[in-house]
């Protein structure tokens, strides 16, 4: 698969593992690796790092060929020791010597962002994570981290799909060479049944979900991490890499509602969609 940056060699199409807890994730991830995925996204909160690690070990795929991301949960951001302990636990569960990207999963209202970023930088300096990043930061948060704290943020992961605009964040990260990772790229399944996307899909011989993914990964500096439990869905999502959208397609997608946010956990900051 094509890399989106020399700085951060992240394949544009990755494999998400949210809501795949426990050992059940192992066979799913093994299948994803077999069909060709080389970008795996997990997190401590997903409760499947051990399964993901086992799948990597059993796959026969060289660790060097896999771009592996995991994340620290918001309740572990209170101190350097808690962040380091969380990181060490993730490495142990994954059964790897390093991850390619270690991210703050959600910001905490009472976190000391300078301390958090300094601790992640210290981990990066050891080589046990090749890069660091943040998830679910709004524009003021990432501006503070990058422009004021000068943190070497390599990637930003947020909800992004054809029904949600992320124009302000995209503009910011592109200017600073930060990779943008779209989670919930199928709008938690809604994209697959959207008639506008389905009509475009019929023109290209693919489904609506593949059009949503193709739209995301056609954008400069954007990667997407859809999840798929069934092998046929995993293979179908890979077909998005072959889809070339024309201007008519792009205009139709641009006309879709762009204010639909579906990920709003109760502990998350209450920000308006226009700030992201």
Residues sharing a CB contact under 8 Å with residue 42, sequence separation 6 or more, in sequence order? 17, 48, 49, 52, 68, 69, 70, 71, 94
- Catalytic pick among 46, 102, 160, 183: 46
Residues sharing a CB contact under 8 Å with residue 133, sequence separation 6 or more, in sequence order? 69, 101, 102, 103, 104, 153, 154, 155, 156, 157, 179, 181
Phi, psi dihedral angles at 245 (to 5 degrees)? -80, 140
Instruction: Take residue 43 and report the two structure tokens written for it.
Output: 């997190």
Helix (H) or strand (E) holding 209: helix 208-217
- Side by side, the strands of the sheet bearing 67-72 are 15-16, 39-41, 67-72, 101-104, 132-135, 153-159, 179-183, 222-224
Matching residue, tokens 């940056």: 5
Instruction: Take residue 26 and report the two structure tokens written for it.
Output: 């192992």
Residue 12, helix vs strand vs coil: coil
Phi, psi dihedral angles at 133 (to 5 degrees)? -160, 180
Q: Is 46 a catalytic residue?
A: yes
Distance CA 96, CA 62 (A): 12
3-state helix, strand, coil in the chain (%, to 5): 45, 15, 40
Residues identified as active-site: 46
């Amino acid at each position: 698969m094509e890399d989106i940056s020399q700085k951060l060699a992240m394949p544009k199409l990755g494999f998400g593992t949210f809501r795949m807890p426990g050992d059940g994730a192992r066979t799913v991830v093994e299948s994803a690796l077999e069909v060709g995925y080389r970008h795996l996204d997990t997190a401590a909160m997903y409760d499947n790092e051990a399964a993901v690690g086992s799948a990597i070990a059993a796959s026969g795929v060289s660790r060097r060929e896999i771009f592996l991301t995991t994340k620290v949960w918001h309740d572990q951001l209170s101190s350097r020791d808690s962040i380091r302990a969380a990181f060490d636990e993730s490495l142990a569960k994954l059964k790897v010597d390093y991850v390619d990207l270690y991210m703050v999963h959600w910001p905490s209202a009472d976190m000391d962002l300078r301390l958090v970023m300094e601790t992640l930088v210290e981990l990066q300096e050891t080589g046990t994570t090749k890069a660091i990043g943040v998830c679910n930061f709004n524009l003021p948060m990432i501006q503070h981290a990058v422009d004021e704290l000068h943190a070497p943020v390599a990637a930003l992961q947020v909800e992004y799909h054809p029904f949600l605009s992320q124009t302000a964040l995209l503009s910011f990260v592109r200017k600073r060479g930060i990779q943008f990772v779209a989670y919930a790229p199928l709008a938690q399944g809604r994209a697959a049944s959207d008639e506008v996307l389905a009509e475009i899909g019929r023109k290209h011989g693919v489904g609506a979900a593949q059009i949503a993914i193709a739209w995301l990964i056609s954008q400069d500096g954007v990667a997407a991490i859809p999840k798929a439990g069934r092998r046929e869905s995993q293979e179908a999502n890979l077909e998005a890499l072959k889809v070339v959208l024309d201007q008519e397609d792009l205009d139709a997608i641009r006309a879709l509602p762009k204010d639909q946010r579906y990920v709003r956990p109760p502990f998350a900051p209450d920000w308006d969609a226009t700030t992201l």
